[in-house]
Chain A
Amino acid sequence: MTGGLNLLIALAMGLNLVALASSRLPSVIRAAATQGMVLGLLPLLLEQEFHWMVGLVSVGTVVVKGFVIPHLLRRALRAANIDREMEPLLGFIPSLLLGAGATIGAVALGGALPLRPEHANSLLVPGAFATVVCGFLLLMGRAKAISQVCGYLILENGIFLFGLLLIRTTPLIVEAGILLDLTVAVFVIGIIVDRIQREFDTLDTRKLTSLKE
């Protein structure tokens, strides 16, 4: 039970680093999508007895994060007709090392925090910290709008992991609402990406800092 849970969270933590190390946009999208699907399975493992609402949220998460959002992103990528190479502001090796450092730091921090006994032996808290930090790194360290969206998705995955700590007290409708918000956000960003592309002929967000009439 805890073994399977920890294995899935460790897989998600590994996918953080895959996302940080990959040099092409489709592979980052794939890493974020796979991570979303892996985390979508967690509520099923956490609940002792099966509840139809938990199953629904789980299936919804897997479908939205694993298929709908990547599809939207890939469509934006195709529509904007941008080249697939990432433009790292922070090199791949430094970001990979920072991500690994954050992961190790998160595990150490998770060991130091006074957690409830049922969470003390799981990777939930370290996984959440590591995923949030790696999401931030991706958000800060890449220049293209689509890769920043992926960073945002990974950041959200980390927050979702934190949310799993409270799964017994949070109404599941909140989770469903977050999922809906996320889809809408990615949908809107897909449109914005298209607009940025038409206006500036590039997706480099650094260009957005200069004012224009």
Chain B
Amino acid sequence: MTTAFDILLRLLLWLLLAPLVPGIINKVKAWVAGRRGPPVLQLYYDLAKLWRKGVVLSTAVSPGHIAGTAVAWMALVLAALLLPAGPAGAPLAFRGDALLFVYLLALARFCTALAALDTGSAFEGMGAAREVSYAVLGEAAIITALIALSLQTGSVSLTTMLAPAAGAGAALLAAGLFAVLLAENCRVPFDDPNTHLELTMIHEVMVLDHSGPPLAAVLHGASLKLLMFSVLLVQAVLPAGELSPLTAACALAGSVLAVAVGVGLVESLLARLAFRRVPLLLTTAFLLCLFAALVSWRGGHL
């Protein structure tokens, strides 16, 4: 009974904290541009508003449209349950959960793309095609990063993998994971989360026909994914397991905040990359993770 309550409590924490991250990023962007910007809690208001609205569906959709969105959100929530959060540890942890984590992220992407295709709009089909073609490289990078961590610690459980620091390849791994974070969450050098122009959208295109509660689920899922990637990046680099619980919690919170500020700064200072350059940058991220893996494999001998 207490375990169920414990899991529920942590889940609630993940769900409630997630919409804060995009708010911080938007605040940083506004601050750099000299504007006042939307309040940090804006996404909470948006989600509440969307939840109260009705759903407008195209005549072409099947029940799979809503189901795909729901499954995608559930998959992201389950992935969040697997990810350890500093001293609190992961609500669910077992041997090999790193693999399940990757697969749940892939399932979420698959279902979002499926829901987009289900609207019958050619435009959204194009967005889905872009999303999955970038995902090939992004997923290769994140799997390689997990392999690097696994080689470093000799374990395939996220809790053990993320506890110590990443060792000699930490800088490589951090750079690679940061690039993956930007790509997976459709942040600026890869995609612009603000635009509604035809040629600049990847993720945005897929959710144009969503409305009401399904759109709220998509937006909340996206913020949850951003928080998960930040936590993953921070824990891969920080030796969270070797600090005292309070220091670790403070370090984790501070570093996630730093990552959010970093994303905001990148977004303010960089322009979006030309579309054909994106694969090159993602390949670079993959290679950074690959070399981090190489360092943790050969590091002991050199």
Contacts and interface: CB of A to CB of B under 8 A. Distances in A.
Contacts of B287: 17, 96-97, 100
Given A17-B287, A96-B287, A104-B294, A111 B301 contact: yes
Contacts, number: 29
B302 interface: yes
Contacts of A111: 298, 301
B121 interface: no
Given A17-B287, A100-B290, A107-B294, A93 B280 contact: yes
A92 B294 contact: no
A96 B302 contact: no
B279 A107 contact: no
B284 interface: yes
Given A6-B302, A121-B301, A96 B294 contact: no
A126 to B, nearest CB: 9
A92 B280 contact: yes
B interface, size bucket = 10 to 19
Contacts of A96: 280, 283-284, 287
Nearest to A22: B280
A6 B168 CA distance: 12
Interface in B248-285: 279-280, 283-284
Interface residues of A, number: 16
Contacts of B301: 111, 121
Name the residue in B287, B291, B294, B302 with the highest tally of chain A Cβ atoms < 10 Å from its Cβ: B302
B259 to A, nearest CB: 23
A93 B294 contact: no
B282 to A, nearest CB: 9
B302 A93 contact: no
Contacts of B290: 100, 104
A121 B280 CA distance: 33
A123 B280 contact: no
Nearest to B137: A93
A97 B283 contact: yes
A107 B280 contact: no
Contacts of A97: 283, 287
A93 B298 contact: no
Contacts of A164: none
Interface string A80-104: 0000000000001100110010011
A21 B302 CA distance: 27
A21 B281 CA distance: 9
Nearest to A94: B283
B244 to A, nearest CB: 29
Contacts of B279: 93
A93 B282 CA distance: 10
Contacts of B294: 104, 107
A92 B279 CA distance: 10
Interface of A: 6, 14, 17, 21, 92-93, 96-97, 100, 103-104, 107, 111, 121-123
Q: 6 nearest interchain CB pairs?
A: A100-B287, A93-B283, A92-B280, A96-B283, A93-B280, A121-B302
Given A21-B284, A93-B279, 16 more contacts: A6-B302, A14-B291, A93-B283, A96-B280, A96-B284, A96-B287, A100-B290, A100-B291, A103-B291, A104-B290, A107-B294, A107-B298, A111-B301, A121-B301, A121-B302, A122-B302
12 contacts: A17-B287, A93-B280, A96-B280, A96-B283, A96-B284, A100-B290, A100-B291, A104-B294, A111-B298, A121-B301, A121-B302, A123-B302
